[in-house]
Amino acid sequence: MDDKHQYLFIDFEFTMPEGKYNPHGFYPEIIEVGLVSVINQKVIDQFSSYVKPVKFQTLTERCKSFLHITQEQVNNGLSFVDLVDKFAQCEGTSPSTIITWGNMDMKVLRHNCQKAGVQFPFKGKQRDLSMEYKRFFGDQNQTGLWKAVQEYGKEGTGKHHCALDDALTTLNIFKLVENDKRYLAKPEPTTIGDRVDLSKLLNKFAL
């Protein structure tokens, strides 16, 4: 990680339809956000909040059961516009890279911005860590977030499908993968002086 570059690890939870058939006009909306800001390998900020949906304001039973989120929590959450303002402030403090597990988070954020008529808040590079993980390990399919961390012999942080815990777990996998990349990087070729102690060799032939 660069000394001054900011890495924003972000995870969202979304609204869900009741069954496999979406109601007319349905689209996923952000209802929970987890964000972790890292500069120079140190966590400098964490942010977590529920978010009020705009189009379909009443959560389905399936959504509440799967995510363990109540209607009251989202009713008392941030407005979507305030969430976008928060993101713009976060990125405004430093050059940033946004890192998510999968591409769905940024797709939904962009679509929600279009629906709300507000500008997409991020200008920095966006990285899908799940695709980097897939390419790095040569997997045929994309691996789920918590399965990926378990493949490293670790456990996820906190509770799966809690946005902040998933953002922290994404950060942990990022550090593990980056360490592996450095370990596997081709070292500089050694010189004969690195491989052989010349003084000992000369002394041997001097005898």
Would you name the residues annotated as active-site residues? 13, 161
Do residues 110 and 120 touch, judged by C-beta distance below 8 A? yes
Q: How far is residue 8's CA from residue 78's CA, in Å, rounded to a whole number?
A: 19
Q: What angle do CA 34, 37, 43 make, to 5 degrees?
A: 110
Q: 203: how many CB neighbours lie within 10 A of its CB?
A: 10
β-partners of residue 12 are 33
Exposed, middle or buried by CB within 10 Å (0-12, 13-18, 19+), for 7?
A: buried
Structure-token pair, residue 42: 């140190």
Report the DSSP pairing between strands 6-14 and 42-50.
unpaired
**What sections of 54-206 are H helices per DSSP?**
61-67, 71-75, 80-92, 104-116, 129-137, 145-151, 163-184, 192-195, 198-206
Candidates 179, 173, 157; CA nearest to 34 is 157
Candidates 19, 59, 33; CA nearest to 165 is 33
Candidates 159, 157, 185, 170; CA nearest to 130 is 170
